[in-house]
């Protein structure tokens, strides 16, 4: 009981050295020391939190140090953020699909490769045990050019499907609310994140319909949906498969006979990977069967390995890391250099090298934590700004935040270990 | 007979002999030291020998570059011993392991010329850095820190940061840090240089208390004449050699003792302090013969404590008490001993060798005269 009371009162003491200093001056009693030593973080090693005290003693220096580390954190966040954004953006279209399995031609090693399979294979898949439905998705990457009055014709990606079985996640409910508008001829919804170069305006629903030309034929853009851009695609349209057939005659006499992707929904009672395996065996070499997640990973891996994007951003992140190591080292090394006499005195008193290692690691961890917080907050703000500016999906997931936190910790500890050499060099013999 | 020393002073004087080598606090034995290597190698310490007892206060002096600082860092384990043997608090430092070094350092208190206080910590916390390392319980440490700072006139500034303290106050905090754990050995470099007379005196008074009560050995490098009086021993070094090593406290007490004896009153202070240095102490059990009739006379004796009987041909002719002397006749006349002297109680005698005794006799005609008078009176 008494212990509880004591600890409560200790916590009740405001963590303000200045205030406590005045308190202690007023009543210099023995009991006041107990609370005094409780200030600041506690350590098993020593009750005087020297690491914390030394770090926070000079507020100006602390601010400089924390800003430097926050800067490195922002650099790393931005680099990783863009990298993720670029990868995320290329698979955004897959993420938007409401299906469990995807069928595609084995030669379609990337989504943008235009090889297709015959629609009749979907009927085979649809009749398979455990499959609820198998519907086509038509995608036109290269053969679609959108033009508005007084503008150049620009390539655009066009997606088409059976409007009654949309297979879209449609998080913004834009498709559901405007689905009926797409029944009419020459109609489409345009991605509101498409580049403004197309000449269309997405400010409000009242602006629609807006008319342009798709492959030389009139197109009425009747509304918007929300997806996003990536490297290869600066905009998206969705329309009914019937309209799609009229625009892309180069696909042959029966344009809808050749399917880009087949979207399969699996019976919720069934195990998706088992259905995938069985379906794979049935379809043979004609069609590959991938789970949605596997397709996303395959696509990201392809961009990561077969393009310099992965390397560029990894180098960028590393540079942020190195900048952080240098800044953090400067801070810690200066802190040590300024107190060389004091540290040498501690050595003379009998403090071991192990103590200095712990002290430096503590300081590194504090710096990492203090620098990471503002860095992460600032990065989040910048992510929002970037996302609105580039229409890239800049997302800060917990996993990505933890990766940067870990990198920051490692960064500061490396600097700490480098700075430690200076500390080991502190020679108590020079004090006399 | 009043010999000019009270009981405490006399026992203090008698306690300075003999030197028990096993109990030495610091035992510097033929230590040489070099700086640099190869062509640049330069010897800075030459065959240093220095033996310091527990509780001794040693003041080291010498011009800069005389090697006193090097010797101090060697004693303090802050530099590795190269040649010779150096034992501190019973631990041999030649070839000591880093772990033992760290452990030994905890038993030594350092007071450096620069205060070396952490600006980020208060006076109290700076001192706590010392007590926590040694695992002194909080309550005990806090009380001790507070009491020490109060004694040093810093009671109102216990929780001030160094920035808010004057140079002298900072130095006093550093002094408190160096002695708070009551180490077996304190090494201090000009501890009073930055202090006014009053606080300088307080610091050395604390030193004296630690030395007397805790048998703490204190080695001070200083040029501060104001504190020379606290020294038990003054060691001065020139060019890497110990040129004088004088037990000043012992000599002072002995001189004080001797000047109360009629015979020695005629000697000047200079001569007195010079011969005081030459005296040895010998102890005798009850009934033992101190000198034997017919034996060869080699020494002169002054009774420091106890009483003796003079026997001629087996018959007791006289007894002598504290402050009396005997054994001079054989030395002056170069004759065999004319009487036996036997201890009636446990006896401590200050002993002067024949050569030293004759030097004294020759140096002062009045001393010789006084001596003859004493001999005449005795017959």
For residues B230 and B319, membership in a common domain is answered with no
pLDDT at position B4 is 65
Closest CB from A34, A57, A352 relative to B119: A57
pLDDT tens profile A417-426: 999 988 888 8
What's the pLDDT band for A10 if we cut at 50, 70, 90? very low
- Within-domain flag for B314: yes
CATH number, domain of B169, equals: 3.40.50.300
For residues B228 and B364, membership in a common domain is answered with no
Q: Which residues contact B36 (CB under 8 A, 6 or more apart)?
A: B42
CATH number, domain of B302, equals: 2.60.120.10
Percent of chain A at pLDDT above 90? Answer: 40
Q: Which of B59, B85, B56, B63 is nearest to B72 (CA)?
A: B59
Q: Which of B1, B3, B5, B2 is nearest to B249 (CA)?
A: B5
What's the pLDDT band for A2 if we cut at 50, 70, 90? very low
- Within-domain flag for B144: yes
| Residue-level length of chain A | 432
- Within-domain flag for B346: yes
Judge whether A36 is closer than 8 Å to chain B, CB to CB: yes
**For an interface test with B, which of A33, A56, A340, A430 has the most B Cβ atoms less than 10 Å from its Cβ?**
A33
Phi, psi of B186 (to 5 degrees): -115, 130
Would you call B138 and A25 a contact, using CB atoms and an 8 Å cutoff? no
pLDDT at position A417 is 92
For the sheet with B83-88, list strands across it: B42-52, B26-35, B83-88, B91-92
For residues B246 and B286, membership in a common domain is answered with no
Alpha helices (H) in A117-201, listed in sequence order:
120-126, 174-178
For residues B167 and B47, membership in a common domain is answered with yes
**For an interface test with A, which of B97, B110, B111, B131 has the most A Cβ atoms less than 10 Å from its Cβ?**
B110
Judge whether A429 is closer than 8 Å to chain B, CB to CB: yes
Hey, where are the domains in chain A?
1-39, 41-86+309-431, 97-291
Residues of B with CB under 8 A from a CB of A: 69, 72-73, 76, 78-79, 102-106, 108, 110, 112-114, 116-122, 124-125, 128-130, 132-134, 138-139, 142-143, 146, 155-156, 158-160, 189, 221
Select the more confidently predicted residue: B89 or A9: B89
Judge whether A348 is closer than 8 Å to chain B, CB to CB: yes
Q: Which residues contact A221 (CB under 8 A, 6 or more apart)?
A: A187, A188, A189, A190, A200, A208, A209, A210, A211, A212, A237
pLDDT at position A174 is 87
- Within-domain flag for B116: yes
Would you call A48 and B125 a contact, using CB atoms and an 8 Å cutoff? yes
For residue B357, give its domain range.
278-378
Closest CB from A24, A345, A427 relative to B116: A345
Select the more confidently predicted residue: A36 or A281: A281
Please provide the average confidence, as pLDDT, over all residues in chain A: 84
For residues B142 and B226, membership in a common domain is answered with yes
What is the mean predicted confidence (pLDDT) over A34-63?
68
E strand or H helix that includes residue A146:
strand A145-147
> How far A385 CA sits from the closest chain B CA (Å)?
41
Hunting for tokens 């208190």 — which residue is that? Answer: B109
Would you call A33 and B124 a contact, using CB atoms and an 8 Å cutoff? yes
For residues B223 and B293, membership in a common domain is answered with no
For residues B316 and B230, membership in a common domain is answered with no
- Within-domain flag for B256: no
pLDDT tens profile A218-249: 999 999 998 888 878 889 999 999 999 999 88
What's the pLDDT band for A40 if we cut at 50, 70, 90? very low
The residues of chain B scoring below 70 in pLDDT are 1-4, 18-22, 378-379
Residue of B nearest to A355 (CA): B133
Q: What is the ipTM of this complex?
A: 0.80
pLDDT tens profile A87-137: 888 888 888 888 999 999 988 888 888 889 999 999 988 888 889 999 999
**B213 burial class (0-12, 13-18, 19+ CB within 10 angstroms)?**
exposed
For residues B57 and B162, membership in a common domain is answered with yes
- Within-domain flag for B15: no
> Is 0.90 topped by the overall pTM?
no
pLDDT at position A23 is 36
Would you call A341 and B116 a contact, using CB atoms and an 8 Å cutoff? yes
- Within-domain flag for B1: no
The answer to whether the beta carbons of residues A97 and A133 sit under 8 Å apart is no
Boundary residue ending a domain (B250, B266, B288): B250
pLDDT of A26 higher than 50? no
Would you call A429 and B133 a contact, using CB atoms and an 8 Å cutoff? no
Give the total number of structural domains in chain B: 2
> How far B229 CA sits from the closest chain A CA (Å)?
23
Chain B environment of A432 (Cβ under 8 Å): 69, 72-73, 76, 78, 112-113, 189, 221
């Amino acid at each position: 009981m008494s212990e509880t009371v004591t600890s409560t009162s200790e916590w009740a003491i405001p963590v303000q050295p200045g205030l406590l200093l005045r308190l202690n001056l007023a009543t210099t009693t023995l009991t006041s020391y107990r609370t005094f030593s409780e200030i600041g973080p506690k350590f098993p090693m020593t009750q005087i939190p020297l690491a914390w005290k030394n770090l926070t003693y000079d507020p100006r220096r602390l601010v400089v140090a924390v800003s430097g580390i926050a800067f490195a954190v922002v650099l790393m966040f931005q680099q990783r953020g863009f990298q993720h954004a670029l990868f995320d953006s290329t698979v955004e279209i897959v993420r938007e699909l409401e299906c469990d399995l995807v069928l595609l031609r084995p030669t379609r090693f990337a989504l943008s490769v235009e090889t297709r399979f015959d629609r009749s294979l979907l009927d085979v898949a649809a009749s398979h045990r455990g499959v609820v439905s198998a519907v086509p998705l038509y995608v036109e990457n290269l053969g679609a050019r959108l033009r508005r009055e007084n503008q150049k014709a620009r390539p655009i990606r066009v997606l088409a499907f059976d409007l009654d079985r949309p297979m879209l996640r449609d998080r913004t409910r834009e498709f559901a609310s405007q689905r009926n508008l797409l029944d009419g001829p020459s109609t489409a919804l345009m991605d509101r994140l498409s580049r403004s170069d197309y000449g269309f305006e997405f400010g409000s629903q009242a602006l629609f319909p807006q008319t342009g030309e798709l492959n030389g034929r009139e197109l009425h853009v009747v509304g918007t949906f929300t997806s996003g851009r990536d490297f290869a695609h600066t905009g998206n349209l969705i329309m009914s498969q019937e309209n799609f057939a009229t625009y892309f005659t180069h696909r042959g006499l029966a344009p809808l006979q050749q399917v880009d992707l087949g979207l399969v929904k699996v019976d919720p009672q069934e195990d998706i990977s088992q259905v995938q395996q069985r379906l794979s065996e049935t379809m043979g070499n004609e069609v590959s069967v991938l789970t949605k997640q596997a397709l996303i990973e395959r696509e990201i891996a392809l961009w990561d390995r077969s393009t310099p994007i992965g390397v560029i951003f990894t180098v960028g992140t590393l540079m942020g890391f190195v900048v952080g190591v240098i800044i953090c080292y400067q801070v810690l090394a200066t802190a040590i250099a300024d107190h060389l006499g004091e540290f040498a005195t501690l050595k003379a008193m009998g403090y071991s090298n192990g103590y200095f290692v712990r002290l430096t690691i503590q300081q590194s961890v504090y710096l990492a934590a203090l620098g990471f917080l503002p860095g992460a907050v600032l990065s989040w703000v910048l992510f929002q700004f970037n996302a609105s500016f580039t229409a890239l999906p800049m997302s800060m997931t917990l996993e990505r935040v933890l990766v940067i936190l870990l990198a920051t910790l490692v960064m500061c500890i490396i600097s700490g270990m480098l700075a430690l050499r200076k500390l080991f060099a502190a020679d108590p013999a020079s004090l006399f | 007979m009043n010999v000019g020393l009270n009981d405490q002073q006399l026992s203090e004087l008698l306690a300075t002999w003999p030197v028990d080598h096993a109990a030495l606090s610091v035992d510097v034995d033929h230590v040489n030291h070099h700086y640099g290597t190869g062509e640049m190698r330069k010897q800075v310490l030459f065959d240093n020998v220095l033996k310091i007892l527990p509780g001794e206060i040693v003041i080291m002096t010498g011009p800069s570059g005389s090697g006193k600082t090097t010797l101090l860092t060697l004693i303090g384990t802050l530099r590795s011993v190269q040649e010779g043997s150096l034992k501190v608090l019973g631990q041999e430092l030649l070839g000591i392991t880093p772990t033992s070094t760290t452990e030994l350092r905890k038993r030594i208190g350092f007071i450096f010329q620069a205060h070396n206080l952490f600006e980020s910590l208060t006076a109290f916390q700076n001192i706590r850095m010392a007590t926590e390392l040694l695992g002194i319980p909080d309550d005990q440490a806090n009380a001790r820190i507070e009491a020490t700072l109060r004694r040093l006139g810093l009671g109102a500034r216990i929780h001030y940061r160094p920035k808010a303290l004057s140079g002298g106050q900072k130095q006093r905090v550093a002094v408190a840090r160096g002695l708070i754990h009551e180490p077996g050995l304190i090494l201090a470099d000009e501890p009073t240089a930055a202090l006014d007379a009053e606080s300088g005196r307080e610091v050395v008074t604390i030193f004296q208390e630690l030395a007397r009560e805790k048998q703490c050995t204190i080695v001070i490098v200083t040029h501060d004449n104001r504190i020379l009086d606290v020294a038990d021993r003054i060691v001065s070094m020139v060019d890497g050699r110990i040129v004088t090593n004088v037990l000043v406290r012992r000599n002072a007490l002995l001189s004080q003792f001797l000047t109360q004896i009629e015979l020695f009153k005629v000697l000047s202070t200079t001569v007195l302090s010079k011969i005081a240095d030459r005296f040895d102490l010998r102890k005798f059990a009850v009934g033992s013969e101190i000198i034997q009739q017919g034996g060869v006379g080699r020494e002169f004796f002054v009774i420091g404590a106890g009483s003796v009987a003079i026997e001629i041909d087996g018959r007791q002719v006289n007894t002598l008490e504290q402050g009396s002397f005997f054994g001079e006749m054989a030395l002056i006349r170069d004759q065999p001993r004319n009487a036996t002297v036997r201890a009636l109680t446990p006896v401590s005698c200050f002993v002067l060798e024949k050569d030293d005794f004759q030097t004294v006799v020759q140096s002062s005609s009045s001393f010789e005269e006084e001596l003859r008078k004493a001999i005449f009176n005795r017959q």
